[in-house]
Amino acid sequence: MKKTIALILALLTALGMLTGCGQTNGGGAEAETAAGDSSDSPAAETVTIRVNTDGFGSGQVEFAYEGEELTFDEEYPMQSLYVNAERGQRLVIAALADEGSKLLKWTKDGADYSTEEQITVTAEADAEYLAVFGAAGITLTEVDLETVGTIGELFGRPCYASSFDEENCVYVFEQNGMVYRAIAKPTGETADAVFELDPLDEHYEAKKSELISPLKIDRIENLSESIPEPETLEQWIGKTGEELFNSGWSCNGYDLGAMQFYMWYGPYAYTVKFEGQVERFEGFNAEEDIKPMIVQYVSYEGLGDLTNLDVPLN
248-287: pLDDT as tens digits: 999 988 888 888 999 999 999 999 999 988 777 777 887 7
Q: Average pLDDT in the 14-26 region?
A: 35
| Pairing, β 46-54 against β 127-135 | parallel
Q: Which of 75, 24, 76, 29 is nearest to 51 (CA)?
A: 24
Do 272 and 211 belong together in one domain?
no
Residue 150 has pLDDT above 60, yes or no: yes
Domain encompassing residue 59:
1-223
Helix residue ranges per DSSP H, the chain: 188-196, 204-212, 230-233, 241-247, 286-289
Does residue 278 fall inside a structural domain?
yes
Q: How far apart are CA 269 and CA 14, in angstroms?
A: 10
- Tell whether the model's pLDDT for residue 290 goes beyond 90: no
pLDDT digits (tens, 9 = 90+) for 156-172: 777 788 899 999 999 99
**234 in the same domain as 99:** no
Clarify whether residues 30 and 106 are in a common domain. Answer: yes
Residue 56 confidence (pLDDT): 62
Q: What is the mean pLDDT of residues 169-198?
A: 92
Structure confidence at residue 30 (pLDDT)? 33
Closest Cα to residue 306, out of 161, 159, 158?
Answer: 161
Nearest to 292, CA basis, from 254, 256, 244: 244
- Whether 216 and 234 share a structural domain: no
Number of domains in the chain: 2
d(CA 158, CA 175): 8
Answer whether residue 46 is part of any domain: yes
Q: Report the first-to-last Cα separation within the chain, whole angstroms.
A: 29
Mean pLDDT of 169-193: 92
Q: Which of 151, 155, 160, 175 lies closest to 8 in space, CA to CA?
A: 160
Residue 110 lies in a domain: yes
